[in-house]
Structure 1
Amino acid sequence: AALILSGLGFPPERQQWPTKAFSGGWRMRIALAQALFSKPDLLLLDEPTNMLDLESVIYLENYLEKWESTLLLVSHDREFLNAVCSDTLHLHSQMVDTYK
């Protein structure tokens, strides 16, 4: 868990703080770390890069590139999606386009 928290921008001393001591953006990072650490069979992420700095986005991208289970991402960050996803579904005008 400490490695994930560190990758998402938490220095070691802040990893011991109670959740209530953090702002909303940092709490989102805590929730993301919890989801990654639990290694679910299906990981759903909605705009996971929104509250992250560049270093944390790069860490998350590298982490998810190695993800072995099913991953469903919603994002407007095309570079992130292209780096992480093997298949893309584009929903528009009541239609779905598939890209591999």
Structure 2
Amino acid sequence: MNKKNFATDILKELAWTSENETVTFDEGVFKVVVNEIVDTSRWSNIYDLVFEWQGSFYRTSYSVGATEMQDEQPFEYADAEVECFEVAPKVISKTIYEPIEA
């Protein structure tokens, strides 16, 4: 599995960026592909962050306080760099069920 370390400051900015938006740093242009809640704990929401950089995709996760009383910011307790895993997009089909209109 390919891994790459990214500066925590970059990832903090990406965490506050909406999907399909780009952010430019000295290291290049980063595009947020996925930034969604994937789990919760008593005090935190856990997010999955996937971004594109230099034609490759990378994934990491971060947590944010679940309420205004939990003052937890993305990557608050991370080191100066965070290890991210290289990923590839995979299209899957999904069946959903919708109401029938009379």
TM-score range, shorter chain: under 0.3
| Higher CA-based Rg | 2
TM-score (structure 1 length as normaliser): 0.20
Higher helix share: 1
Q: 1 or 2 for the larger relative contact order (CA 8 Å, sep ≥6)?
A: 2
